Amino acid sequence: MLPAGEYYVGDLCYVMHDEWDEVCSLLFKGRTDQGCNQGEFMLKDGRRFAIFNTKYGDGGYRDQFNNNYDVDAGSIGCILIKDLDLNSDENYTSGGNVIKMEKDFNSLRVDGTLTFGHIVIDTDGSLYDEEEEEEEYND
């Protein structure tokens, strides 16, 4: 369970550039196959975050409020805004969303659905659906 607060929800590679090697070491620790660990983790300095694989890897996904989440590392996660260095030119929140979590919350993945408190992101369907693709071909 993560504590209430203001969170960045999105692909953590956009906001944890300096810590990305440590994040990856947690995700792949003890794995002998191509998969990775998912769930809630803690960095060596005590900062906590949650991260889950999207069903179809990179792309664009939406939550139930139609907010966009760009994905370049095949996963979506959350971390407290206060735990990020947003003064770094390499970290930016524009690929995800800043969400206020009013109370402590759980995060989980069931099939392709990722849940972070009250935010539900369906990664079983891509933002770029077949209808949009057909429009591009017909132009």
Domain ranges of the chain: 5-138
Residue 99 has pLDDT above 80, yes or no: yes
Q: pLDDT (tens digit, 9 = 90+) per residue, 45-66?
A: 999 999 999 998 899 999 999 9
Residue 133 has pLDDT above 80, yes or no: no
pLDDT-derived band of residue 26, with 50, 70 and 90 as boundaries?
confident
Residue 130 has pLDDT above 50, yes or no: no
pLDDT at res. 35? 63
pTM score? 0.84
Residue 69's alpha-carbon distances to 29, 54, 59, 63, 122, in angstroms, are 26, 11, 8, 8, 11
